[in-house]
Structure 1
Amino acid sequence: MVPLQKVDKDGFRAMVKTLDPRYVLPGRKYFSQTAIPNLYEQHRSKLDAELRTVAYFSTTADLWSSRTMEPYLSITVHFISDDWELRNHCLQTSYFPDDHTGLIIAQGLREALDSWRLKEERQVALTTDSGANIVKAVQLNDWRRLQCFGHRLHLAIERSVKDARIELAVGVCKQIVAAFSYSWKRKRDLAIAQAELGLPKHQLKTEMPTRWGLRQKMIERVTEQERAINQVLKADKKTRHLVPSWQDMDVLEPVNKVLSPLQEFTDALSGERYVSVSYLKPVLHLFNETILAEGENDTQLTKDMKTTILTYLNEKYSDPGTDDLLDMASLLDPRFKTTYIKIEKVDEIKARAVDEIKSLLTEQQADTTGTSSALPKAVAAAAEPEVKRKKSLASFFKKQGSSTAQSRATLSDEEIKVELRSYLKAVEVDSDTDPLEWWKCHQVNFPRVAKLARKYLCIPATIAPSERAFSTGGNIVTCHRSALKPDAVDRLVFLAQNL
């Protein structure tokens, strides 16, 4: 986002004058005090009206610090519209200068929902990282929490690479990358060696300690360009000691073999324009059965890494509350249904689905049927004097009529079960099918189950939406705009994310 002071620059004003000499460009003060606040209020009101029509929603939340070390709390909301579109909005990036204890964060989260008039009981789940303070906050609010898959996978991988051999080999990689990063001559020689050896003309990549994917990319690039790297380093006496040994390569290759397939899953589950929560069960099953399963040609280091990652993920996702949530999301995805639910839990999840559908229908009936219609009847009944009438033949069947109504209610429960069975027996759906498009076409056939699908399929599997708000905030609060007030940061991030 361009700083507002750009409108006061002579070059910018000259360009606008050239484009349209009749246009009078306002100054920075107009944009900062009038245009942007009005635009913010306009879009906030529009989003507020849209949220009024949402039956159920999910959220993500996380804390971050700006370049000026000012703490902020970002919250995003996710829901499925009446047209079966997954909507995502950044609600706010609020200044959070208080101590980041669980109690204070819990209060901040409640205040954030209250400011948008969102009811806590309508929140299906809150996706967060595994920070102790935010986990405690969710517990204090008695909310359902889904742990971020990206953070869990990162912690699992960090545990798997805590090996002296891996740390030594990664250290060699970092030294090699540094040797090429700060020398244009070595970069030139590397390009020449790549052409001679027929290797891809790729640059070496640096790592970032907080992003395991970048470390994996660094290792992958070093193993790919090993021959070219050796040729360049051996030609210079000062860098011959950096040539990776065969022991280093025997470590780097298994590490790359284990980690490279996992990167694609992290990227895929971080999307916010499509359903992701229902993928978690199938992904965990795929990890256990295929991707991280021990192979015949695996080295002991490879087996140890796979075992460590699987043990950690299976332990963290074996929590009963999380497991039930993922089972329900998988059940409501027409691509998976009961495929990845444990056989002994299928009947339990079906029964819970029936109960939740009944609850949704009851809530819907309560919302549509107000007490206003009953009030005039009660007043009229009170005003009319009671007249004693002769008992008619129909009066003898009143009890039978009430039992008929009761049987109809029971029939409604049976209809829910029949509809759920029909949905589960429907034609198999291709794995590339968009589940929301499928539900849009088939909600007429399964209207009750569709209500439950709209409730659960909006949950994001990661906190990537909140982290994208962090990135937007980082692009706004730059070193040249470090004096921005927190309210201005909130407005600018809101507009940048939601426009």
Structure 2
Amino acid sequence: MADGGFVDDTVAIATSTDTELYDHPGGGKARSKVWDVFAFRKIKKELPSSRKNLDMTVAVCRLCQKSYKNTGNTTNFMSHIRNEHSLPKGTDNTPKVKTNTTTTGTCIHTPTRKPRQVQSTLNFPSQESKLGNERKKALDDRLMKMVIGKVLPTSLVDNCYFKEFVQLLDPRYNLPCRKTLVGWLEKKKVDIQECIKADIKKCEGVAITHDSWTSNATDSYNTNTLHYIDDNWRLNSADLGTIKMEGSHTSENIAKSLQTTKTNWSLPDNIIATTDNAANEQKAFRLLEWSRFGCFGHKLNLVVKNSLQSNNISRLTSKGRRLVTLFHSSTSAHDFLSQKQRQLEIKGAGHRLLNDVPTRWNSTLLMLERLIEQMPALMAVASDENVSKNIRTTLQNTVFSFEETSIADKVMALLTPFLRATEIVCSESNPTINKVIPVVTKLKRKLEISEDDSPLIQSMKKKMLEQLTFRTEVKVKVKPGDAAAMPATSNSATTTNPSLPSMAEFDMKDPDTPTDTVQVDSNVLTQTKIKSPSKKKQKFVDCDETLKDIVCTGETKVDREDTISKEIERYLSSPVNTLSDSDKSLTTLEWWKENELFSPRIAVLAKHYLAVQASSVPSERVFSLAGELVSKKRSRMSPEHVDLFIFLNKNIKFW
């Protein structure tokens, strides 16, 4: 055998007359492109071209009939193609061979004469066209982000149609298998956890929300969301995990789970939690001795639901549900309604009727609004003789009368402020705890009884006012020497200033007292004057001694209590909505970012308390996502993967 792996010339000459060549029998497993050029001969011509009947020890070039020894390595074959059959760029480099497919295999007829003068080759990718490491990492990252962001199953990478799509976009990129993809996601979870822990260490105080949920697979989960304000006065939120809970939702089990979360995430001791008002939640936080705030959104829900229990309102909502059910269950009734909407050209043409949900009072308001909007079309359907008798009879018995329509209008006007209040206190992107007392005050003004109110509306307002009184106690742990230990010189603070944490009384008499109580009462409201903040002269420590009597006019020692008193006075008299040099309106956190230096001690309290959520809606939003994730088709998903997907989806901003 000659150098380079060639077979003896005698062998090459002896076999050159045999023109029948057959493809590599490996099929799809023979991925190398060299097998588009090299082939094999039969051992026995009368037998089919199977692997056993092909001489796999020698590979023959279809273009020049040169033979090479086949040892399993294709390097020599690749070199032969590049050196012997190279063509200039831009020319047709596809070998033109005649193929005849028979039952015994693929027979390739090639010329016996070696076309040395005809240079032809396959198009092999150059080194520059290979997928770079940075490009591959970017594609891997976007693949993970797509799966997490849209909560797609990891089996997507095994889908043949998705593979075809990816190959069309970039044929150089090889999709990972499911196991590899899950491994990448788990590593990404660890990285995000470290990022969140680093943020927690820099916070003045953190707040959490807690809730529990049961999946379609009858697995019980509990979740915690974290909320904190960073150094740049931005309100951030993060998911701390959705963990499967063993046993029932007793207060002891809830307390144990919360303590585990606190330990795993190294949360500080001054946590303030927001939960619903269930008895087991309240007892769990008493066992832990943690500060707890009852969900104010849940409170508003109870206030409105109890006011809707009167006979007249129940009769009205019952008729509304029957109307909605009729048009949702009958296609002919729905078609007639759509026809009347187009004919009358009403404002809500194309709108469907909405049904209410017992657990969400807002849905009752939305149902009544949609029924009043579609009332002309409903009455037109009820009077149309082309409609079947059963539908017309049902409509005539359930369509609101003029008196009921008037009642519905008044009820909607009464409930609309509660809808807006719910939206305000359930926001997650802005501070909400400081809006609780203003919301209560605003609602009480809306509920003032007037002489024009009907007896029904007066009765509803009385019920709402009885339950709307808001009072809670938050225990604040104060360490000796802490900046938050401020003996207030005034027993009350304003709630008209939106930058103030939602507290009406600061009663911290002794800074060395380990625990004090901050009381919040909607009846305690204090108005303050708007004054310009006083500018204090500062002593420059880097000036020359000869200028000391000019730059610094004198020093006076001020007691700590006097300093704190002046800071509170300056804070209460500071402008609220505008900067000193512009008319730009500011949000609560923007105001604090601009005025933190003027009230450093109160700023510590603001960072702590403005992060507290007024409702437990953030946790409920987590379970809304969990309901989509653990669907009927994915009910066998393990609790570890449920936590992995929810954690990464909710913390995708830390990606």
Q: 2:248 aligns with which of 86, 99, 120?
A: 99
Moved more, 327-336 or 66-75: 327-336
Q: Deviation string for 1:119-139 (max 9, x for gaps)?
A: 3x221x211111111111111
2-structure distance, mates of 1:329, 1:158: 33
Q: CA deviation at 1:233?
A: 2.6
Q: Which residue in 1 is equivalent to 2:464?
A: 309
Residue 129 and residue 16 in structure 1: after superposition, are their counterparts in 2 closer, same or farther (change >3 A)? same
2-structure distance, mates of 1:28, 1:428: 54
Q: 2:390 aligns with which of 218, 224, 238?
A: 238
3-state SS of paired residue (1:25): coil
Q: Deviation string for 1:276-335 (max 9, x for gaps)?
A: 10100001001111x222233221111111221221121xx234559xxxx999858843
Q: Which residue in 1 is equivalent to 2:596?
A: 443
TM (normalized to structure 2)?
Answer: 0.63
Q: Which structure 1 residue ranges, 5 or more long, are not aligned?
A: 361-406
Q: Which structure 2 residue ranges, 5 or more long, are not aligned?
A: 1-150, 476-489, 516-555, 579-583
Q: Which residue in 1 is equivalent to 2:8?
A: none
Q: 2:619 aligns with which of 448, 453, 466?
A: 466
Maintained 8 Å contact 1:48/1:116: yes
Larger Rg: 2
Q: Which residue in 2 is equivalent to 1:284?
A: 440
Residue 359 and residue 433 in structure 1: after superposition, are their counterparts in 2 closer, same or farther (change >3 A)? farther
1:293 aligns with 2:448: yes
Maintained 8 Å contact 1:329/1:457: no
1:186 aligns with 2:336: no
* Equivalence map 1:46-125=2 (5 Å): 46-119=195-268, 121-123=269-271, 125=272
Q: CA deviation at 1:182?
A: 2.5
Maintained 8 Å contact 1:193/1:228: yes
3-state SS of paired residue (2:632): coil
Maintained 8 Å contact 1:419/1:446: yes
1-structure distance, mates of 2:310, 2:646: 41
Q: Which residue in 2 is equivalent to 1:216?
A: 365
Q: CA deviation at 1:25?
A: 0.5
Q: Deviation string for 1:74-100 (max 9, x for gaps)?
A: 101111101101011110111012221
1-structure distance, mates of 2:249, 2:320: 37
Q: Which residue in 1 is equivalent to 2:302?
A: 155
* Pairwise CA RMSD: 2.8
2-structure distance, mates of 1:455, 1:332: 17
Q: Which residue in 2 is equivalent to 1:18?
A: 168
3-state SS of paired residue (2:277): coil
Residue 484 and residue 216 in structure 1: after superposition, are their counterparts in 2 closer, same or farther (change >3 A)? same
Q: Deviation string for 1:198-247 (max 9, x for gaps)?
A: 42212211111111111210111111211211111332321223332425
Maintained 8 Å contact 2:417/2:443: no
Letter in 2 for 1:238: N
Q: Which residue in 2 is equivalent to 1:262?
A: 418
Q: Which residue in 1 is equivalent to 2:486?
A: none
1-structure distance, mates of 2:513, 2:572: 18
Residue 115 and residue 330 in structure 1: after superposition, are their counterparts in 2 closer, same or farther (change >3 A)? farther
3-state SS of paired residue (2:633): coil
1-structure distance, mates of 2:493, 2:512: 16
Q: CA deviation at 1:261?
A: 2.5
1-structure distance, mates of 2:441, 2:210: 27
Q: 1:5 aligns with which of 147, 155, 158?
A: 155
Query: What is the total number of aligned residue pairs between the two structures?
Result: 435
Q: Which residue in 2 is equivalent to 1:127?
A: 274
Maintained 8 Å contact 1:277/1:329: no
Moved more, 73-82 or 160-169: 160-169
Q: Deviation string for 1:363-417 (max 9, x for gaps)?
A: xxxxxxxxxxxxxxxxxxxxxxxxxxxxxxxxxxxxxxxxxxxx96x71221111
Q: CA deviation at 1:183?
A: 3.0
Q: Which residue in 1 is equivalent to 2:498?
A: 335
Moved more, 263-272 or 240-249: 240-249
Q: Deviation string for 1:425-457 (max 9, x for gaps)?
A: 112426963111111111122222211211111
Residue 330 and residue 208 in structure 1: after superposition, are their counterparts in 2 closer, same or farther (change >3 A)? farther
Residue 204 and residue 432 in structure 1: after superposition, are their counterparts in 2 closer, same or farther (change >3 A)? farther
Q: 1:168 aligns with which of 306, 310, 315?
A: 315
Maintained 8 Å contact 1:334/1:435: no
Maintained 8 Å contact 2:499/2:589: no
Question: RCO (CA 8 Å, sep 6+): is it higher in 1 or 2?
Answer: 1
Q: CA deviation at 1:60?
A: 0.4
Identity of aligned residues (%): 28
Q: Deviation string for 1:429-488 (max 9, x for gaps)?
A: 269631111111111222222112111111111111101111111121111111111111
Residue 92 and residue 272 in structure 1: after superposition, are their counterparts in 2 closer, same or farther (change >3 A)? same
1-structure distance, mates of 2:190, 2:395: 58
Maintained 8 Å contact 2:211/2:223: yes
Letter in 1 for 2:466: T
Q: Which residue in 2 is equivalent to 1:35?
A: 184
2-structure distance, mates of 1:330, 1:147: 22
Letter in 2 for 1:263: L
3-state SS of paired residue (2:225): strand
3-state SS of paired residue (1:215): helix
Residue 115 and residue 350 in structure 1: after superposition, are their counterparts in 2 closer, same or farther (change >3 A)? closer
